[in-house]
Structure 1
Amino acid sequence: MPEIQITIGGRQFEVACQDGEERYLHSAAKMLDDEAQVLSDQVGRMPEARMLLMAGLLLADKTASVEDRITEVRAELAEREAELAGLRNVTIEPERIEVPVVPQAVTDTLAELAARAESLAAEIEEKVG
């Protein structure tokens, strides 16, 4: 079981940990040291036990607010998942669009009328002009 040295609030501590957990212990010690440094800057020198207690409480407070936020986000995620599941069960009927088809006989008749109108227009132009 490795023993490592950590510094918290300017004080050295020797701590044992499981093999492979040294990195996590250093990370946790850094967080605790950061809080201890804030306390030291604000209050000044204080007894070791009090400094560790106060730094631990500050970290616990931050952790509690993060856990509260995680709970809120999980609840919001559950709501969104329920909404999505509800949408999956909804059958959406496609909109029916009908496009009228002009029968060929009507097209032929319109073409014939257009030709007659052009012929009449040409006759009128000849008589007037």
Structure 2
Amino acid sequence: MPEVTISIGGREFEVACQGGEEHFLRTAAAMLDAEASVLLGQIGRMPEGRMLLMAGLMLADKTAGMEDSLRAMQEQLAEAEAALAAARSAPVKVEVPVIPPQLTETLAEIAARAEALADKVEESAS
């Protein structure tokens, strides 16, 4: 098991971890160190246990807030997916324009005139 030296609040710690997990340990330690640095900047020197406890609690608070936000986003996503599924399953409404009766009558009249002209042309040609 590899051992990694991490620094939190200006103090060095030797921590063992699984092989290949060193990067994750360093990342977590950096997050904890950032919180510890804020505490030390506000309060000053404090016992190691208290510093680690307070920094851990601050991280836990941030994590809880992020989990609440994530849960709300997941609910919104579920609602949007449900609305999309409902929209996809609803029948598609297609509107077909209605031909006004005047247009039909006008076209019939034009057709009748065209036939009459054709008849006249035939009579004169024969």
How high is the TM-score relative to the length of structure 1? 0.78
The letter of the residue matching 1:58 is M
Q: Where does residue 60 of structure 2 map in the other structure?
A: 60
SS in 2 for 1:15: strand
Q: Where does residue 103 of structure 1 map in the other structure?
A: 107
Deviation at 1:93, TM superposition (A): 2.3
Q: Where does residue 4 of structure 2 map in the other structure?
A: 4
Q: Where does residue 116 of structure 2 map in the other structure?
A: none
**The 10-residue stretch of structure 1 (58-67 or 82-91) with the greater mean CA deviation from structure 2:** 82-91
Deviation at 1:53, TM superposition (A): 0.2
Alpha-carbon separation, structure 2, partners of 1:79 and 1:4: 45
The letter of the residue matching 2:18 is Q
Identical pairs, percent = 53
Q: How does 1:25-64 map to 2 (within 5 A)?
A: 25-64=25-64
Larger Rg: 1
Q: Where does residue 87 of structure 1 map in the other structure?
A: 87
Q: Structure 1, unaligned stretches of length 5 or more?
A: 110-129
The letter of the residue matching 2:88 is R
The letter of the residue matching 2:43 is V
Alpha-carbon separation, structure 2, partners of 1:93 and 1:53: 62
How high is the TM-score relative to the length of structure 2? 0.80
SS in 1 for 2:66: helix
Aligned residues: 110
SS in 2 for 1:103: helix
Q: Structure 2, unaligned stretches of length 5 or more?
A: 114-126
Deviation at 1:106, TM superposition (A): 2.2
Alpha-carbon separation, structure 1, partners of 2:30 and 2:41: 16
